[in-house]
Structure 1
Amino acid sequence: MRFATIDFQGSTRAAIDFGSHYRITPFPDLSEALRKFDGDIMALADITEFDSVDAENVSLLAPTKTPNKIICLGLNFTDHVAEMRRDRAQYPTLFAKYPLTLTDPFASIVKPAISDAMDWEVEVGVVIGRPARYVSTQDALDHVAGYTVVNDVSFRDYQNRTGQFLQGKIFERTTPVGPWLVTRDEVDDAKDLAMTLTVNGEVMQNGRSSQMIFSIAETISYVSQILTLEPGDLISMGTPSGVGAGRTPQRFLTPGDVMESSVEGIGGLSNRIVTAGSSTR
């Protein structure tokens, strides 16, 4: 089943995708709905008394607009580790983003004038359902509400200023997410899905989620030893090879470029790079 956050009569609302139409819920986004129902995404499907809107009239937004936490993995694909000339890590390489970093699945993204190394990274996004604290790898997937697509747009010049990734990963409104939250059963827990990214129609990344070094279950278990994962939180699982910084010569995004990011069975993002002052919708 697919769920979304949509623009409805000038406000954001969590909604259920029925193919030809979306059923509106009273919640402003899926993160808030998951918190209300303690992570039970299917409880939303029981809501019947609210309005519906034709699918052709829907504007899809980032499904998790208000996660309490956004945890990201770096260097989680062997081929990406190699192209970045790094050593394979013994433990997951974690960094965080903030809700203000996220943007909508089809929004334009402003290239900041201060960076000349704007890069792309298609990733599987994991949306947490049930709270997870000290969970085992065996039980970890029971805490997942569903999956989405993330493009971890990165600013390599800022990322490489220090040994910490954060400043190159949190530029405002630069990480598109969506367009749907797809339930676990639809994609077999994202075990082996094709992941692709194109720039202006040229294939840059072409990998599979089965190539992850640390699996989704291992990552949830590991993070849950550190802190409590809560309903509506987002984990972004890292990217395969093909990023701009790993190419010879390096290639980065410029205004006018269009990125198409897709994960098999989950959906696709389309984002145009624009200059400051341009419309982002």
Structure 2
Amino acid sequence: MYFTTYEYNKAEDIGVFLKETKEIISIKGIFQHMDRECPESMNEFIEMSDADLIKDMERVIKDNNFEGIPESDVKLCAPIPYPKRNIICLGKNYIDHAKETQGLPGGTEDIPKFPIYFSKIASPAIGDGDIILNHSEITDMVDYEVELAVVIGKDGINIKKEEAEDYIFGYTIINDVSARNIQRKHGQWFKGKSLESHCPMGPYIVHKSKIPFPVELEIMSKVNGEVRQNSNTKNLIFDIPYIISDLSKGMKLKVGDIIITGTPAGVGLGFKPFKFLKPGDIVECYIEGIGSLTNKFEE
């Protein structure tokens, strides 16, 4: 199933996206048929979700003739507009990207021997079609990074690698927009990754039942139609089971946590000369099985 947060008739709601008909069904209607109290936000929905609930929802949708809203009639928001905690990020988690960013702070080895973790504020995250602010008063080196995001579905600590999938709710796309001069200036990545609007997310969260595990998905970004990044998540240096297990050692992962798993080669910093975003640029981030997240850079 594909889950979305959206605006329709000036009201925000959460719903299920029907890929075949390109319609959205409000979760309120589905929950009424199940005689259950409806969640008010995506975070609340993820908290109450389990395999049985997802199956019940699929059955209700199949057995009832819901009147869906055409996707073209709604404004898609970030699926989780206000994450409960900072987004957990991995740096240099594709070999080709690790090589192209040599010289950035965050590790002494070109190819990390251990995961490089940092965090990113998204308050709020922006959605498909929203504007990425340029913050031209402090940076002229804004970069794009397409990343697979893992949404945690239940609390866990000291999770075994072979049990990692049990703790996943689903997957979405995040563009880890980065101000490169600020990264270098401060000698760490938090500030340069956390400027307002620099976390596009979406267009949907895809439930894990729709994505085969291990996760091997084509991942790509384009700027003004030009392919910049093109890889597959099977090329992660540290894969999803490793990341979840390693992060959870002595540190509780909580339901609703979002982990972004790194970006492949082809970011603006990797070109000579650099190809940072310019006013009016259109950035498209695509991941197989999830969709495309498209945003414009502020003019």
TM-score higher than 0.5 = yes
2:288 aligned with 1:264, yes or no? Answer: yes
Q: Quick check: which has more Rg, 1 or 2?
A: 2
Partner of 1:65: 81
Listed as ranges, the matches of 1:47-86 within 5 Å are 52-69=68-85, 70-85=87-102
CA contact (8 A) 2:173 2:290 kept: yes
Structure 1 residue 170 corresponds to structure 2 residue 172: no
**In 1, distance between residues paired with 2:258 and 2:264?**
19
Partner of 2:125: 102
Are 1:31 and 2:36 matched, yes or no? no
Distance 1:122 1:221, change over 3 A: same
Structure 1 residue 56: Cα displacement = 3.2
Structure 2 CA distance for aligned equivalents of residues 190 and 167 of structure 1:
32
Amino acid across the alignment from 2:170:
G
Q: CA-to-partner distance for each residue in 1:246-274, whole Å, 9 max, x for gaps?
A: 11111111111110110011111111111
Is 1:148 aligned to 2:172, yes or no? yes
| Aligned counterparts of 2:247 and 2:152: Cα–Cα separation in 1 | 12
Aligned to 1:6: 6
Q: Deviations 1:214-263 (Å, cap 9, x if unpaired)? A: 11111111111242222221111100000111111111111111101100
Q: Aligned runs of 1:195-214 on 2, under 5 Å?
A: 195-214=219-238
Any gaps of 5 or more consecutive residues in structure 2? 28-37, 103-108
Q: Which whole-Å CA distance do the structure 2 matches of 1:58 and 1:102 have between them?
A: 18
**Gap change, CA 1:259 and 1:40, over 3 Å in 2:** farther
Q: What does residue 243 of structure 2 align with?
A: 219
Structure 1: runs of 5 or more not aligned: 276-281
The whole-number CA distance in structure 2 between the counterparts of 1:223 and 1:246 is 28
Q: Which amino acid aligns with 1:72?
A: C
SS at match of 2:182: helix
Partners of 2:112 and 2:246 in 1: how far apart? 14
Q: What percentage of aligned pairs have identical amino acids? A: 34
SS in 2 for 1:197: strand
Distance in structure 1 (CA, Å) of the matches to 2:177 and 2:52: 30
Aligned pair in 2 of structure 1 residues 172, 51: CA closer, same or farther (>3 Å)? farther
**Cα gap change, 1:249/1:15 in structure 2, threshold over 3 Å: closer, same or farther?**
same
Helix, strand or coil for the counterpart of 1:241?
Answer: coil
Partner of 2:157, secondary structure, is: coil
Q: CA deviation at 1:35?
A: 2.1
8 Å CA contact retained: 1:39, 1:232: no
Structure 2 equivalent of residue 93 of structure 1: 116
Aligned to 1:16: 16
- 1:97 maps to amino acid: K
What is the Cα-based RMSD across aligned positions, in Å?
Answer: 2.2
Structure-2 change in CA distance of 1:44 and 1:90 (3 Å):
farther
Give the SS at the match of 1:185: helix
With structure 2 as the length reference, what TM-score do the two structures score?
0.85
Contact 1:39–1:130 (CA under 8 A) maintained in structure 2: no
Residues 176-225 of structure 1: CA distance to partner in whole angstroms, max 9, x if unpaired? 11001112232214622111111111111111101101111111111112
Q: Which residue of 1 aligns with 2:31?
A: none
Distance 2:141 2:39 in 1: 38
**Counterpart contact for 1:64–1:234, Cα < 8 Å:** no
- Alignment-mate amino acid for residue 158 of structure 1: I
Mapped to 1, the partners of 2:201 and 2:2 lie a distance apart of 14
Task: State how far apart, in whole Å, the 2-side matches of 1:184 and 1:238 are.
Answer: 19
